[in-house]
Structure 1
Amino acid sequence: MPVQDNQSDRNSADSDPSVFFLSGIPGLEAMHLWISIPFCSVFTVVLLGNCTILYVIKTEPSLHKPMYYFLAMLAVIDLVVSATTMPKTLSIFWFNSREISFTACLVQMFFLHTFLSTETAVLLAMAFDRYVAICNPLRYATILTNSVIAKIGLVSLARSVLLVVPLPFLLSRLPFCQSHVISHFCCEHMAVVKLACADTRFNNIYGIFTTLFIVGLDLTFITLSYVKILKTVLSLASKEEQLKAFGTCVSHLCAILIFYTPLVLFAIIHRFGHQVAPHIHILIANFYLLFPPMMNPIVYGVEIKEIRVRVHLLFRGKSF
């Protein structure tokens, strides 16, 4: 049955250039219903975890501080990234609803890449927050004011929008005269570019440039921030002070590893893993998109005492 469905998808797509089809996980179509169980579970955790973090930060005045504002931004981004991809993915798994218009595909692509790019900027902002808190604590309140935090958030989003807008615009100018079946569960840029029956070198180069520019630049500054933080921590007099200072960075370091490790793994396999089966590519892409939004609220809920205590009180039904 999946083979017949795929064939009919191809025939329909070829007859209508404005319609595309998402393949889900190629080669594992017969297992889509079973695969949907962990996907749905993870999506539920993402929604509950990040909404809880946002609620706790909003309702608890003692958490109205720069570090928690950045954490709230991260939670919003994780919710948008998951909401952009998971409803359509689950509809493929449950109802075999593969069809997506080209316009909807470009919109999904824009939101997905924009907010993934914004997440790296927010992680950089959180590194800057820790740098100021540890290396220049006396000026922390004057440097990271509410207006500065708002500007950082807006600049992060504006940078992502400006760099990502050309991706769907360039794609919209390409002809798609052959297969319209996207070998993915979402409209990821490179997966759509591969379907174009024209020279796509500029699209490929621009896609690589934006990835290297955004990730490379942010990761470089994050690394520099933590080099300075490490020097400052090691210069503290007692071991207890060192552990206490560096302890405030543990949750953020975990968030960095959770975000960048799957990203680097996906990029390596996508560029060089030509021998890897297609369904492995897609599963790793799913892992890259779902793992950080699921783990971030868990890590911050466990590592940050203030959030952990208030979440515990929330679920026990007591007031803060």
Structure 2
Amino acid sequence: MLDRSSLKNKASTILNATFVRPASFYLSGFSNIPHEKYYYVFLCFIYIMTVLGNSFLMSVIYLVKSLHTPKYMIVFNLALTDLCGSTALIPKVLDTFLFDRRYIVYEACLSYMFFVWIFAFVQSWTLVTMAYDRFIAICFPLRYHNIITKSAVASILLVVWVFSLSLLAAAAGLLDRLSFCGSLVIQSFFCDHGPLYRLACNDTSINYIIANLVLTVIMIIPLVVIALTYVCIAIALSRIASGVERLKALKTCTSHLILVALFFLPLVGTNLAVIISYIHPNARIFNSTLTHTIPALLNPIIYSLKTEEVLNSIRKLNKNNRKPLRTI
């Protein structure tokens, strides 16, 4: 009979004859790519700029009272999710591959997956909330301030966060019921849900269903909702007689459309390639890293440089900081 100390030193915990919980997983990352460390250095640069850009945008929104509006509550939430999402992913990726610490403890792996996808989920539905804001502003301009209130936006964002937490907690919880008796090598750069549950030895049908549900709720439904809102916006703009007014209204949507394209196009492209044909693991990892990092980097730049309200607020803060102190 084995004593307690020998049981603790086992590589994995075997709960019964058919259930094996590993002590750790191995993250494969890229395979057979020369000088791959330069790519991770590039990700490090992206992370630094993402933290600076999103922190700056959040600070401007917080400090300038004229930006304390429902619209910029949504922008603040997007910047927060960008910052948190990048922080959940990139530092661990750098630690894993730059310092060759590819083994990750079982519990840490599930937490890693949960936090990376929770912020991607919230980011997706924050873009939907932005589309709803633009839809009301253009299609119902006279009722905008009655519909898009701070309490209404706060309620929408709260529902997004609660639903995201619930769905991703369910996905992580269902992974915990799986038995991993074969390969422990995750063919990804982080503990991604799909590559992780496919390693299991027992029935993964529920995990397959939850994976499709998460994909539908993160990618398909938001894209359909955003597309429908812009169809309504296009119809509303076609009824505006003045071309100048039409162009002015359209300009208020450009920043949002750029954000939508940056977030969804790589995500849709990668998943379509997986479903329709074969995609090389290296290509999948490359696309996935850019999907999780580039939008978070560019979102604050787009909203700082494309939005006149934010530019004016930055100028106002700059002028206030340059004012000389009065002497008594």
Paired positions, count: 305
1:91 matched to 2:95? The reply is yes
| Superimposed CA distance per residue, residues 123-170 of structure 1 (whole angstroms, 9 cap, x where no aligned partner) | 111111111111112221111111111101100111212222221111
| Superimposed CA distance per residue, residues 8-54 of structure 1 (whole angstroms, 9 cap, x where no aligned partner) | xxxxxx934121122232323x5232222211111111111111110
Alignment of 1:1-320 (within 5 A): 15-16=11-12, 17-28=22-33, 31-274=35-278, 276-311=279-314, 318=321
Q: Distance in 1 between matches of 2:256 and 2:130?
A: 7
Name the larger-Rg structure: 2
When the two chains are superposed, the root-mean-square deviation of aligned CA atoms in Å is: 2.0
Q: Distance in 2 between matches of 1:298 and 1:58?
A: 17
- CA distance 1:303–1:202, shift in 2 (3 Å): same
Contact conserved, 1:269 with 1:281, CA < 8 A, in 2?
no
Contact conserved, 2:11 with 2:23, CA < 8 A, in 1?
no
| Superimposed CA distance per residue, residues 92-126 of structure 1 (whole angstroms, 9 cap, x where no aligned partner) | 23211112111111111112222211222111111
| Amino acid of the structure 1 residue aligned with 2:52 | L
Contact conserved, 2:267 with 2:291, CA < 8 A, in 1?
yes
The 3-state SS of whatever aligns with 1:249 is helix
Contact conserved, 1:313 with 1:319, CA < 8 A, in 2?
no
Q: Report the Cα offset of residue 55 of structure 1.
A: 0.5
Contact conserved, 1:45 with 1:294, CA < 8 A, in 2?
yes
| Amino acid of the structure 1 residue aligned with 2:269 | L
Q: Distance in 1 between matches of 2:322 and 2:204?
A: 57
Q: Report the Cα offset of residue 291 of structure 1.
A: 1.3
Q: Distance in 2 between matches of 1:300 and 1:166?
A: 34
Contact conserved, 2:263 with 2:295, CA < 8 A, in 1?
yes
The percentage of counterpart residues that share the same residue type is 35
Q: Distance in 2 between matches of 1:36 and 1:115?
A: 21
Q: Distance in 1 between matches of 2:316 and 2:53?
A: 15
Contact conserved, 1:266 with 1:288, CA < 8 A, in 2?
no
What is aligned with 1:3? none
Q: Distance in 2 between matches of 1:248 and 1:258?
A: 17
Q: Mind listing any 5+ residue stretches in structure 2 that lack a counterpart?
A: 1-9, 13-21, 324-328
Q: Distance in 2 between matches of 1:188 and 1:287?
A: 15
Q: Distance in 2 between matches of 1:51 and 1:197?
A: 44
Q: Distance in 1 between matches of 2:252 and 2:292?
A: 26
- CA distance 1:312–1:18, shift in 2 (3 Å): farther
Q: Distance in 2 between matches of 1:33 and 1:224?
A: 42
Q: Distance in 1 between matches of 2:282 and 2:228?
A: 37
Q: Distance in 1 between matches of 2:24 and 2:127?
A: 36
Q: Report the Cα offset of residue 295 of structure 1.
A: 1.3
Q: Report the Cα offset of residue 312 of structure 1.
A: 5.7
Q: Distance in 2 between matches of 1:269 and 1:48?
A: 34
Contact conserved, 1:52 with 1:311, CA < 8 A, in 2?
no
Q: Report the Cα offset of residue 313 of structure 1.
A: 6.3
| Amino acid of the structure 2 residue aligned with 1:27 | N
Q: Distance in 1 between matches of 2:243 and 2:288?
A: 41
- TM-score, normalization by structure 1: 0.89
Contact conserved, 2:219 with 2:268, CA < 8 A, in 1?
no
Q: Mind listing any 5+ residue stretches in structure 1 that lack a counterpart?
A: 1-13
| Amino acid of the structure 2 residue aligned with 1:74 | L
Greater fraction of residues in helix: 1
| Amino acid of the structure 1 residue aligned with 2:66 | S
